[in-house]
Amino acid sequence: MLAYRQRYQLIHVPSEVLHGLFVRQHAFGRLNYTIMRRLIDRYLAEGRAFGRVLSCRNLAILWKTLLVPGPPLRNLMLVPWNVSLPSRLSTRS
């Protein structure tokens, strides 16, 4: 969230702080960050409606899967599997 706010000049965060946080987040690769930033832009900032594929349930599963500890690429590869499961991930806090 700090990087998102910095990107849109809502706050100022020193670049070394952002870099330090980024390298410590092992589950958070550049592609994962880009996907999450676009989700925030589309559904929170722009207020777009959910569709058939990216429903509220699937968005919650996507978000949680991208943040699972582990390699970022593995997390992306888990998304289709987690979406196809019954709603166990969408209801877990």
Domain count, the chain: 1
Q: Taking residues 23-37, what's their average pLDDT?
A: 80
- Tokens (6 digits) for 58: 């699937």
pTM (2 decimals)? 0.69
**In angstroms, rounded to a whole number, what is the distance separating the alpha carbons of residues 66 and 5?**
19
CA distance 70 to 72: 6
Task: Kindly indicate the confidence band of residue 82, based on its pLDDT and cuts at 50, 70 and 90.
Answer: very high
Distance CA 42, CA 45 (A): 6
Residue-wise pLDDT for 38-79, tens only, equals: 988 998 888 899 888 889 899 999 999 988 888 889 999 999
Task: Give the domain extent around 23.
Answer: 2-91
